[in-house]
């Protein structure tokens, strides 16, 4: 197979996606040039009308793309010349493709980061809906994938609400990091024209302008921050995807996923595979790869612009697409999953899950915790040898290991275990109810961010 080296520098297959940002930036730039007397108002008007017409062509798939022009910027400029003639050449006054692409990327990053923050809030609300619908259900909590202590299912789901809250804050920080106007920096040194950069910033919704022209065209930290936020958020989604894979298996059967989020087997007709959750788990690695790619891409670049930076767009667009599509899948998948209460109840009857509560019982009788822990290890070993759970033992059997056991040991229960964890952040019903209410209030307040 022969390769066409003439296409090696072409990026239009990726950066066509920046057409809205590129046109918006060019319109603001043209208006500023007229305001400052660098071009005439008539020239600015012709440029803006031509750009608006080009945007319509692109939105309606009527734009005549030319790969030989390499990128989105030159395609638009060339088409503008077709439409309005030589005056189109005045648009690039006091501007370089270096500060132009930096502008487009910042605008795009602000938009996708805002969309991610919005979708994360929807996903948090979906988790809260499931937590509230199943607020009284007790399930096994796990460490090392071994049954450990009883917890409320709602407490488990609220853990993901907290993770997502951190994710949401990271994306809001990404918006702030990208919210710097680089236009006016030129190729690297600034431009010899009386620009009004603050006018352009206001037109395009930027809160501040760049302080150093060299840094402005070379900086891609905001992309690193965005892709890092994507990677961390995908990691959180992947953790719940793993739990869904386990919980929807016949071995657990804690939940049943809606048929839309499973697929059948090509050979085994009884199978319903949790493919959406598995794909989310798999796609996480791709987003990690994009983060490592941009970090590696940037680590050896001298100031200022280098063509290596063109490669950043591939990972940026794919990370954004992957994250946003995964968030939307999770919103629907979690909203429609069914919790199987009877299976949770069955799982609680195994694994000596009240052993820690029995150790705490002995502590309340005056035994040091380490001694109580040793006693309960002996009790659980005995119960296992008798094919029983610790809560199935008789008082006489308990007394084989400690005289501190008395009749009230028989009162220890799953509900009592849960409600005993009545500390801020604990799984007690009253604490979880408070946490649910606080999370709802926080979501309502966050709508104004």
CB atoms inside a 10 Å sphere around CB 73: 24
Helices 153-178 and 221-247 cross at an angle (nearest 10°) of: 160
Show Cβ contacts of residue 120 under 8 Å, excluding neighbours closer than 6 positions.
164, 167, 168, 171, 233, 327
For helices 97-133 and 429-446, the axis angle rounded to 10 degrees is: 150
Taking residue 7's Cβ as centre, other Cβ atoms within 10 Å add up to 12
Evaluate whether 435 touches 158 at the Cβ level (below 8 Å).
yes
Query: Cα(327)–Cα(248) distance, rounded to whole angstroms?
Result: 20
Which residues are designated catalytic?
144, 265
Give the angle subtended at the CA of 23 by the CAs of 215 and 117, to the nearest 5°: 70
Burial 254-265 (b: 16+ CB within 10 A, else e): bbbbeeebbeee
Cα 443 to chain centroid, rounded:
16
């Amino acid at each position: 197979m022969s390769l066409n080296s003439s296409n090696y520098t072409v990026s239009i297959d990726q950066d066509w996606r920046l057409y809205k940002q590129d046109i918006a930036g060019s319109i603001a730039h043209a208006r500023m040039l007229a305001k400052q007397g660098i071009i005439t108002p008539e020239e600015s008007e012709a440029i803006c009308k031509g750009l608006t017409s080009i945007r319509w062509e692109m939105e309606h798939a009527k734009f005549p793309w030319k790969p030989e022009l390499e990128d989105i910027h030159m395609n638009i400029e060339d088409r503008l010349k077709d439409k309005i003639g030589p005056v189109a050449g005045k648009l690039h006054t006091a501007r370089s493709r270096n500060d132009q692409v930096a502008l487009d990327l910042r605008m795009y990053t602000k938009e996708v980061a805002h969309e991610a923050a919005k979708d994360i809030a929807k996903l948090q609300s979906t988790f809260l809906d499931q937590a509230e619908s199943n607020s009284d259900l007790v399930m096994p909590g796990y460490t090392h994938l071994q049954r450990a202590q009883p917890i409320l299912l709602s407490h488990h789901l609220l853990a993901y609400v907290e993770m997502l809250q951190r994710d949401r804050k990271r994306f809001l920080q990404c918006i702030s990091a990208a919210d710097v106007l680089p236009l006016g920096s030129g190729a690297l040194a600034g431009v010899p024209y009386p620009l009004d950069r603050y006018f352009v910033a206001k037109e395009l919704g930027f809160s501040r302008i760049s302080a150093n022209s060299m840094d402005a065209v070379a900086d891609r930290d905001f992309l690193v921050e965005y892709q890092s936020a994507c990677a961390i958020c995908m990691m959180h989604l992947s953790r719940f995807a793993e739990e869904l894979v386990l919980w929807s298996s016949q071995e657990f059967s804690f939940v049943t996923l809606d048929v839309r989020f499973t697929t059948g087997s090509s050979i085994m007709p009884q199978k319903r595979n949790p493919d959406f959750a598995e794909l989310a788990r798999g796609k996480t690695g791709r987003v990690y790869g994009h983060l490592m790619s941009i970090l590696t891409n940037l680590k050896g670049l001298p100031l200022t612009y280098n063509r290596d930076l063109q490669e950043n767009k591939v990972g940026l667009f794919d990370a954004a697409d992957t994250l946003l599509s995964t968030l939307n899948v999770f919103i629907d998948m979690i909203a429609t999953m069914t919790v199987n209460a009877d299976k949770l109840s069955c799982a609680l009857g195994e694994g000596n899950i009240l052993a820690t509560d029995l150790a705490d019982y002995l502590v309340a009788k005056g035994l040091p915790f380490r001694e109580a822990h040793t006693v309960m290890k002996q009790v659980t070993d005995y119960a296992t040898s008798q094919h029983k759970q610790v809560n199935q033992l008789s008082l006489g059997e308990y007394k084989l290991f400690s005289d501190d056991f008395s009749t009230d040991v028989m009162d220890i229960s799953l509900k009592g275990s849960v409600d005993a964890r009545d500390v801020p952040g604990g799984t007690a019903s009253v604490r979880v109810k408070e946490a649910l209410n606080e999370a709802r209030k926080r979501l309502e307040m966050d709508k104004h961010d």
